[in-house]
Amino acid sequence: MSTKKSRELLEFGGLSFSSSVIFGLFWIYIASFLTPEEYGNIGFLMSIAIVGSTIGILGLEKVIIVYQSKGENVFPTTFIIILFSSSITSIVTYVLTQNLFVSLFLTGLTLFFIITTMLSSQERYRDFSKYRLLRAVFSVGLSILLYSFMGINGIIFGYFIASLFVLKELYPFLKKGNINFNLLKSKLKFIIPAYGLDLSLIFRNWGDKLLIGILFGFSFLGNFHFAFQILLLLQSIPVAVGTYLIPKESKGESNKKLKISAVLFSCIITVIFIILIPHIVNNFFPKFLEAIIPSQILIISLIPLTINSVQTSEFLGKERTLTLLITSLIQSGLYVVFIIVFGQEFGLIGIAYGFLIATIIRIIVNFFISRTNLH
């Protein structure tokens, strides 16, 4: 890897990791004064907003990151479509939850995600990471402040406000091109699998909280949500690597050393945190003792998640979204079965093992299916 690439990745990865650490530590911090039931309740509401945002984006963020990297200006068209669909999703969310703050957060999250995706497609990694870091800092600060006055809704409202700082980048992106819906028609074979992939991914990371909350209650969900927050904290490693690689893979650039380094680094982090978790929870989060073993099991998933992130960047760079959709649906389908069956039989530990097993199966299927010509 060149010196420039190394410096670029270190800066990008460092800032991205810092923002994830801030969010992760914040969610772990609030677990110190919330009961598992309260923690599960806010996790449930946040999951509704995040799932709703993904539904409204329609998979078009992958169109932006892949085709903008190739020089096609698809942003103005995709943004208008997303704005319309997300407005509908936000209204439906309000009708279902009767909570305005959840709908506002959904809208803010969508805007933030689409604009930062455009930054990534232009390889403006410093700006991408800067906005993520600013959002993390302001989300935490505003949420803590507003919680004192508004309770759980204050946390959600704080997240919404912190998502708006990136809006200053929007106008330059929109003025550089024209709205042309025909531009996207030729890309439907890419968009439809990409959308299915997004839905499958968001279910695994957030939609599962809705299923778990409905089946097992908020107290059960609170313990699992706490364990999963630790994984999300560490998952910034594969997420940063994947975000960095996709535009480069789209242009045919090789990054073999980076991929190997990312997997090795995830192995080291996994071992360290498996050892530390029991001490951290026992000393600082005694309400969440049930989450210790599930946390350790989920942390092991960091290794296959990193491998999957590398595989995903390769598939997306080659526009093999159908491959990704198939493997993602296999993983999500297995995970749903494991939540229901293992959750009933083995509780939190069973669901954690279910997530790990489904993730490992995904990378194995990725490997074998990559050798075919399926697109």
Of 320, 243, 245, 233, the residue nearest 270 (C-alpha): 233
For 43-58, write each residue's pLDDT tens digit: 999 999 999 999 998 8
Whether residue 63 lies inside any domain: the answer is yes
pLDDT for residue 173 is more than 80? no
Q: What is the pLDDT of residue 59?
A: 82
Give the per-residue pLDDT at 65: 79
pLDDT, tens only, 153-171: 999 999 999 999 888 888 7
pLDDT at 226 over 80: yes
Look at residue 351 and tell me whether its pLDDT is greater than 70. yes
In angstroms, rounded to a whole number, what is the distance separating the alpha carbons of residues 54 and 50?
Answer: 6
CA 174 from centre of chain: 25
177 in a structural domain: yes
User: DSSP per residue over 280-337, as a string?
Assistant: HHHHH-GGGGGGHHHHHHHHHTHHHHHHHHHHHHHHHHTT-HHHHHHHHHHHHHHHHH
Which range of 116-120, 229-233, 344-348 scores highest in mean pLDDT? It is: 344-348
Query: Is 303 among the domain residues?
Result: yes
Confidence (pLDDT) at 158: 95
What pLDDT shows up at residue 109? Answer: 94
Q: Is the pLDDT of residue 149 over 60?
A: yes
Q: Which residue has the higher pLDDT, 255 or 303?
A: 303
Q: What is the pLDDT of residues 320-348, one digit of tens each?
A: 767 777 888 888 899 999 999 999 999 99
Question: Which of 8-22, 114-128, 358-372: highest mean pLDDT?
Answer: 358-372
What residues contact 90, with CB distance under 8 A and at least 6 apart?
52, 56, 103, 104, 106, 107
Least confident of 286-295, 310-319, 360-369: 310-319
Query: How many whole angstroms separate alpha carbon 348 and alpha carbon 188?
Result: 39
Tokens of 61: 């963020």
> 112: closest CA among 89, 86, 94?
86
Question: Residue range 194-209: average pLDDT?
Answer: 83
Q: Which residues does 180 contact at the CB level (< 8 Å), separation at least 6?
A: 77
Give residue 16's pLDDT: 66
Among 68-77, 246-255, 365-374, whose mean pLDDT is lowest?
246-255
pLDDT of residue 374: 53
Average pLDDT, the chain: 84
- With bands split at pLDDT 50, 70 and 90, how would you rate the model's confidence at 6? low
The mean pLDDT of 177-194, rounded to a whole number, is 76
Q: What is the mean predicted confidence (pLDDT) over 162-191?
A: 79
**10 pLDDT above the threshold of 70:** no
Q: Compute the half-sphere exposure of residue 92: CA atoms within 13 Å on the CB side of its CA.
A: 13
CB 203 within 8 Å of CB 273: no
How confident is the model over 240-260, as pLDDT tens digits?
665 666 555 555 556 667 677
Output the six-digit token pair for 356: 């790990």
Full domain range(s) for residue 38: 3-369
Domain for residue 375, yes or no?
A: no
**Percent of the chain topping pLDDT 70:** 86
Pick the range with the lowest mean pLDDT from 35-39, 244-248, 289-293.
244-248
Q: Is residue 256 part of a domain?
A: yes
- Give backbone dihedrals phi and psi of 329, rounded to 5 degrees, phi first: -65, -35
For residues 84-97, give the mean pLDDT: 94
Give the lowest-confidence range in 145-159, 259-273, 284-298, 361-375: 361-375
**Range with the largest mean pLDDT of 13-22, 107-116, 181-190, 321-330:** 107-116
Query: Which three-class secondary structure string do you get for 268-294?
Result: HHHHHHHHHHHHHHHHHCHHHHHHHHH
Tell me how long the chain is: 375
By CB atoms closer than 10 A (0-12, 13-18, 19+), residue 261 is: middle
What is the token pair recorded at 32?
């110190």
**Tally of domains in the chain:** 1
Residue 374 lies in a domain: no
